């Protein structure tokens, strides 16, 4: 079911400062900020030869990332994203095996313009998992 690792997401309290650190200190290529109101975040991607790092900050006070940062004020790893060929088939297979899909269970469009779903961290060794259809 799983394809390649698409990205590792890191929640940050200051997106511009974190992006500058990756760009200026590590010499990374950083994309322009992208607001994703449906997900309550603003993101940038650090482009690496084999995957991406997503930096995300809250977009508004109702963002789930705001709650994460309240518990982790310096930021930290938020989720991992894996690619899947067919997100609906993956969802159905996971639900049949007892995994919990967050939200209403229907994919939303993610930062790459592709359908995504999130899986409950308690079902995956304490890690929030995002699936993205390729």
Indicate which residue of 54, 57, 83, 130 is catalytic: 130
* Residue 30 neighbours by CB under 8 Å, 6+ apart: 19, 22, 23, 44, 45, 46, 47
* Residue 74 neighbours by CB under 8 Å, 6+ apart: 13
Residue 69 CA to residue 16 CA, distance in Å, equals 16
Both structure tokens of 90: 């993956």
* Residue 69 neighbours by CB under 8 Å, 6+ apart: 11, 13, 58, 75
Q: What is the SS3 assignment for 55?
A: strand
Whether 132 sits among the annotated catalytic residues: the reply is no
Residue 113 CA to residue 72 CA, distance in Å, equals 29
Q: Which residues are catalytic, by number?
A: 130
């Amino acid at each position: 079911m799983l394809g390649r690792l698409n990205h590792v997401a890191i929640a940050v309290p200051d997106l511009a400062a974190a992006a500058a650190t990756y760009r200026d200190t590590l010499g990374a290529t950083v994309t322009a900020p992208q607001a994703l109101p449906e997900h309550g975040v603003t993101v940038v991607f650090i482009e690496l030869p084999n995957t991406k790092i997503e930096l995300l900050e809250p977009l508004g006070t109702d963002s789930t990332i705001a709650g994460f940062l309240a518990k982790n004020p310096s930021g930290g790893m938020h989720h991992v994203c894996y690619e899947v060929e067919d997100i609906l088939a993956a969802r159905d297979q996971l639900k049949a095996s007892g995994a919990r899909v967050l939200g209403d269970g229907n994919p939303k469009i993610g930062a790459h313009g592709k359908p995504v779903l999130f899986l409950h961290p308690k079902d995956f060794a304490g890690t929030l998992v995002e699936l993205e259809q390729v």
